[in-house]
Chains A and B, each alone.
Chain A
Amino acid sequence: MVKITVDGTEVLVNEKKNLIDALKDVGVSVPHFCYHPKLEVVGMCRLCMVEIGSAKVDPATKQIVKDQTGKPIVIFNPKMQAACNTPVTEGMYVNVNSEKAKAARAGVMEFQLINHPLDCPVCDKAGECALQDYSFSVGDSGSRFREHKRNHPVEKIGTNLRIVHNRCILCYRCVRFERDIVGRDDLELQERGNETVIGYTPLNASSGPLLDTNYQGALADLCPVGALLNENTLFQSRVWWYDAKQSICHGCSELCHVTTNVKDNELYRYMPPKNPEETNYFICDAGRFSVHEFSRNRLHAYLLKGHPGKSVDILPQVAENLLNASKVAIVGGSTLSNEEVDAIQLLVNEWRNSSKDVAWEFRTETPMWENRFAEKADFLMMVDRRPNSKKLLDSKAVSIGERKGWEEYLSQVDLIIVLNEFSAPYAFDATRGIENSELYKLFEQKDLWKKTILVSTHESAATKKALASLPVKAFPEMEATYTRHDGQIRKSIPVLKPVKGLKTASEVLASLSGKAELARR
């Protein structure tokens, strides 16, 4: 830690950081566009200008010269410096809020807005836009620019990404993110001078004409203005309508921290968490946009052979089936929370004690069978797309067998209970479809549907075929904990209100168990 003086106040800051980050720690915010803690510093926007100075030193005595009141005389450099590109040094003097610094910032803002169309009413970024905020807080209300504004048409550059060139302030963040974080150098500055735009160039012959990474949401998010926008949430809402809470993402066993965006009991998207310094700066598209599925195609009725009925009629029948089965297989479960898994484990032990042969296997896809639970698909997302595989891996109830043997075994058992494995958006993106999953194909091939009971959050082709389908609460409707791939426990909070009467998976299974006991008596 070193001592510096900010606007006349002495503070202790971390000398390993640059001025923006160091000052942030002591509660002084320096407006900035292009700087991002995770990206290389380029100093392109010039908004973070501050005055830097040092105490006057007598060349003869090498002593700091003091005035009559005993204060050191400070000499500020005539040129202002970019705070993002200035390391902290002992005894430095910084003026963030002097008249000169304020005037410099207002000047930069005027330049940034020269070509900006000022179309906040139609811009999806409005409300979470740095340009809007800084224009309001540090900019001037007017502009002296009287020429024509440059005009480029909107361009679609990604499968889920468009660029509104007119709004771009050329901060270079998107380019740096693609190059340094995603590792695909496919965005670049094209043309020059006033006509400079951001453009997409396919990386090689095999990449398509559109950007198709898993991080197009992060690009839109990183863009400090409304130049990069995601198309699948385009014009659907306005930012200030979202109810934002801090929770985690269910999309894979990375369990990223997220901010939830809920409107009218519907999840629109996840956004990065409020405190990225302690958690994670980026989240992937698979997690960010799959959450809309929690309000679509939900299973809200008890189904018997695909037909909806009353729980009081269907549950006893299913319980009867369970009672009569001597060999039971449980498939899946790694989308359920720690609490659920523990509760089901207790139930399974009970069933085993009542001389039932119960086997439980949670692996359903090739990567899981190959035990690639700690492998990453890219810099962030895991190959294993289920949130809680680690918990089941450590759980004693689960048998760790061979894939072939297990698949044979499934044909021999009397009853199969599938825990959430056929439910979007867990593990499957809705575009890929349940029908294309390995488990679905296995069930088709061996014709296992007649003895299968599904515990499912979503309606799908599978719920129509199974013997019975039992609706349960989904991830954002429960307060629960999950185990990350490295063993860390993370907590999610309820952000959606479930339909009245909906149970959790363990509750449904417990009620089956209870009914079976009743039937036995």
Chain B
Amino acid sequence: MAIVKVHEKYKWKFLEKNYFYSIGAGMLVTLGAFFKTGILNKAVTIRYPEETRPVSNRLRGLHTLKRDEEDRERCTACFCCQWSCPADAIHIEAAEVPPERAHLHPEDKYAKVFQVDLLRCIYCGLCEEACPKGAIYLDGGIPMPADHRDKFIRNKEDMLEEKGGPLIGERI
């Protein structure tokens, strides 16, 4: 049986044999980028995390809890978000509003503990959809890296905004 040759050794062309040609071509790209970013200030990258890119207002990012027009917490610990969460990421402990907090809540039930485990969360947005009070939104930007598991648990204090947010069923 005749031998079929399937591979032939690559034959270098003259210019390719001369390495300065390839290096020169590479340097041209580098210098081009250097002029563009260093001199003309046209960089495509940013200094994350000091700088961040604008994101779509439909991005599902970190959870925030909203206050209403009178700075009272909207969340009333109805557990709808916890119930709808497919990843079991939300943990709420409800309690009766004590008199000293009465001005912070429109109802008599509130979330004493409200935690979101960002390592469990799949950012599906179902909690936002389920909330009958317009209290939870995933509009807090992109999660930061951290060096300990516990730092990925977002507590009520981390999520609660000073001012009222969007109305029920609305994004900013």
Residues of A within 8 A of B (CB): 119-122, 154, 234-236, 238, 240-241
Contacts and interface: CB of A to CB of B under 8 A. Distances in A.
B96 A122 contact: no
Nearest to B112: A235
B153 interface: no
Contact of B96 (A121, A234, A238, A240): A234
10 contacts: A120-B78, A121-B76, A121-B80, A122-B107, A122-B109, A234-B96, A235-B109, A236-B94, A241-B79, A241-B83
B109 A240 contact: no
A195 to B, nearest CB: 21
B141 to A, nearest CB: 27
Given A235-B94, A235-B96, A235-B109, A122 B76 contact: yes
A121 B108 contact: no
A238 to B, nearest CB: 5
Contacts of B85: none
B87 interface: no
Interface of B: 76-80, 83, 94-96, 107-109, 132-133
A164 to B, nearest CB: 9
Contact of B108 (A120, A122, A238, A240): A122
A120 B107 CA distance: 11
Interface of B is mostly: loop
B133 A238 contact: no
A234 B77 CA distance: 12
A121 B94 contact: no
A119 B76 CA distance: 10
B83 A238 contact: yes
Nearest to A154: B108
A167 B18 CA distance: 90
Contact of A240 (B76, B77, B83): B83
Contacts of B132: 120-121
A168 to B, nearest CB: 16
A234 B96 CA distance: 8
B68 to A, nearest CB: 14
Contacts of B77: 122, 235
Contacts of B79: 238, 241
B107 to A, nearest CB: 5
A407 B94 CA distance: 50
Nearest to B105: A122
B133 to A, nearest CB: 6
Nearest to A126: B78
Contacts of B133: 121
A235 B95 CA distance: 6
B101 to A, nearest CB: 14
A236 B109 CA distance: 11
B78 A121 contact: yes
Contacts of A122: 76-78, 107-109
A287 to B, nearest CB: 25
Given A122-B109, A241-B83, 19 more contacts: A120-B78, A120-B132, A121-B78, A121-B80, A121-B107, A121-B133, A122-B76, A122-B77, A122-B78, A122-B107, A122-B108, A234-B96, A235-B94, A235-B96, A236-B94, A238-B79, A238-B83, A240-B83, A241-B79
A28 B106 CA distance: 41
Contacts of A235: 77, 94-96, 109
Contacts of B80: 121
Contacts of B107: 119, 121-122
A234 B109 CA distance: 10
Nearest to B131: A121
